[in-house]
Amino acid sequence: MSRWRFAGLATSAPLCALALLSVSSCAGVPRPPEPVSPPQEPPVVELKLDERLREIEPPGPLAPRIHWTPAVPDEGSLVVLTLEPEPRGLPVFEVRARARDRDVALSSLDGGAYFGLVAAPLNVPEIPVEIDITLADGTRITRRLTLLVETLDFAATRLRVASRFTAPDERAVERIRREREIVRAALATVTTVPLWNGAFIMPRDDATTSPYGQRRLFNNELRSRHTGLDIRGRTGDPVYAANSGRVILARNLFYTGNAVYIDHGLGIITGYFHLSKHEVTEGQWVEKGQLIGRVGATGRVTGPHLHWGLYLQGAALDPSTLLAPAFARISDRLPAPTVIVE
Ligand SMILES: [Zn+2]
């Protein structure tokens, strides 16, 4: 049985009122990389044209083929969306997409195809997706779909940390509030072209010690979820950028300690927490594998380690999904980014 429910199809003449990101707009980025090759990946899920679409005037290439991978995403996954407009007939002028009422930045590929990334966050069993296509003659097509997400059983654990992290005083509460806004603004960064370069790598070549999604009880009083992946390391061990991009935050924060956030483009942001030392500054461009910090035990921790996080569309996802073969393959098809401006 298909994991997709086809929830509607409509054409509309007026311009969409939603503040969508255009695939052609590249605000803040001097030069988008030129796509070099069309996607070769076989579709995991393909949605056929609805019969009603064929009645639209003018007839022809009105429906893109839509592929998603993984076909059945787990909670916390990164989902790769690929759109392939029919090659016959009228050209496509613009393609826009939204998921969970958030913009999905799309990147064009050769052959008129596009791809974008959709977040499947924890505790969200269904993700509404809307795709808007504008043809060269102004005809607009909207497809609405619902992506069904596989829920998982996550392990639970008890942890003991300094009491100031479970019962912060008034001053700390104010700091936490202030920092939450800073991080939220940083995570809202969407660079509309990919800045990453080929497949992602682990920021440390070491064992993972605590998985994403784990249910946690701190000091027998505070329930929380582990929204990243912990990697083993001793204080001072190197931490490397999982891919190229721009450092959007590099500072000390209450819970995450010395933290680095890197914008990799198309909405992908990775985070590296609890560092003993920063090796980069905010605004800096970093290459894949570049030293960005040192393992430490700053912030809410039980000991030295690296916490690695992945953020997309405001959701904290499992960073190991960046290493999934499907994502690595689409990453390999992108050219190296040419955007290096200090
Ligand atoms: Zn962690």
Interval between CA 305 and ligand 1 midpoint (Å): 8
Q: Which amino acid is at 253?
A: L
Interval between CA 173 and ligand 1 midpoint (Å): 21
CA 251/CA 236 separation, integer angstroms: 17
CA 107/CA 116 separation, integer angstroms: 6
CA 241/CA 290 separation, integer angstroms: 5
H helices, E strands: number in the chain: 2, 23
Within-domain flag for 31: yes
Residues 109, 244, single domain; the answer is no
Give the number of other Cβ atoms within 10 Å of residue 143's Cβ: 23
Structural domain including 31 reads 4-148
**Domain final position from 148, 176, 197:** 148
Residues 44, 186, single domain; the answer is no
Residues 164, 309, single domain; the answer is yes
Residues 140, 181, single domain; the answer is no
CA 135/CA 89 separation, integer angstroms: 10
Within-domain flag for 340: no
pLDDT at 134: 81
Residues 115, 204, single domain; the answer is no
Interval between CA 150 and ligand 1 midpoint (Å): 23
Residue 256 and residue 299 in contact, taking contact as beta carbons nearer than 8 Å: yes
Interval between CA 273 and ligand 1 midpoint (Å): 8
Neighbours of ion ligand 1 (CB under 5 A): 228, 230, 307
**Domain final position from 148, 165, 193:** 148
CA 74/CA 152 separation, integer angstroms: 7
Within-domain flag for 337: no
Interval between CA 213 and ligand 1 midpoint (Å): 10
What are the pLDDT tens digits along the chain (342 aa)? 333 333 333 333 222 222 222 233 333 344 444 444 544 443 333 333 333 233 333 333 455 677 788 878 899 999 988 887 654 456 777 888 999 999 999 987 766 778 899 999 999 988 888 888 887 777 777 778 888 898 888 888 888 877 877 888 899 899 999 999 999 999 999 998 899 999 999 999 999 999 999 888 877 877 788 999 999 999 999 999 999 999 999 999 999 999 999 999 999 999 999 999 999 999 999 999 999 999 999 998 889 999 999 999 989 999 999 998 878 877 877 766 654 444
In total, the chain counts a number of residues equal to: 342
- Range 54-80 burial, b when 16+ CB lie within 10 A, else e: eebeeeebbbbebbbbbbebbbbbbbb
Give the number of other Cβ atoms within 10 Å of residue 36's Cβ: 11
Interval between CA 256 and ligand 1 midpoint (Å): 9
Within-domain flag for 342: no
Whole-angstrom CA distances from 21 to 67, 71, 202, 313 are 21, 25, 30, 13
pLDDT at 62: 53
Residues 118, 181, single domain; the answer is no
Interval between CA 170 and ligand 1 midpoint (Å): 25
Within-domain flag for 9: yes
Interval between CA 222 and ligand 1 midpoint (Å): 15
Interval between CA 258 and ligand 1 midpoint (Å): 13
Residues 181, 143, single domain; the answer is no
pLDDT at 218: 78
Residue 261 and residue 271 in contact, taking contact as beta carbons nearer than 8 Å: yes
Residues 174, 123, single domain; the answer is no
Q: Where are the beta strands (DSSP E) in 191-294?
A: 208-210, 215-218, 222-225, 229-231, 238-240, 245-253, 257-265, 268-275, 277-278, 285-286, 291-294
Tokens encoding 320: 């190991």
Q: In this structure, what CATH number is given to the domain that contains residue 61?
A: 2.60.40.10
Distance of CA 17 to the CA centre of its chain: 25
Residues 13, 106, single domain; the answer is yes
Interval between CA 8 and ligand 1 midpoint (Å): 40
Interval between CA 320 and ligand 1 midpoint (Å): 13
Residue 276 and residue 260 in contact, taking contact as beta carbons nearer than 8 Å: no
CA 235/CA 251 separation, integer angstroms: 18
**Domain final position from 83, 113, 148:** 148
Within-domain flag for 309: yes
Interval between CA 260 and ligand 1 midpoint (Å): 14
Interval between CA 158 and ligand 1 midpoint (Å): 13
Residues 166, 288, single domain; the answer is yes
Report DSSP state, residue 142.
E
Residues 139, 172, single domain; the answer is no
Interval between CA 226 and ligand 1 midpoint (Å): 6
Interval between CA 58 and ligand 1 midpoint (Å): 54
Enter the pTM of the model.
Answer: 0.79
pLDDT at 221: 76
pLDDT at 335: 67
How many structural domains is the chain composed of?
2
Interval between CA 123 and ligand 1 midpoint (Å): 19
- Range 158-197 burial, b when 16+ CB lie within 10 A, else e: ebebeeebbeeeeeeeeeeeebeeebeebbebbbbbbbbb
Q: What are phi and psi of 201, to 5 degrees?
A: -125, 160
Interval between CA 297 and ligand 1 midpoint (Å): 11
Q: In this structure, what CATH number is given to the domain that contains residue 172?
A: 2.70.70.10
Residues 164, 127, single domain; the answer is no
Interval between CA 229 and ligand 1 midpoint (Å): 5
Give the number of other Cβ atoms within 10 Å of residue 332's Cβ: 11
Interval between CA 175 and ligand 1 midpoint (Å): 21
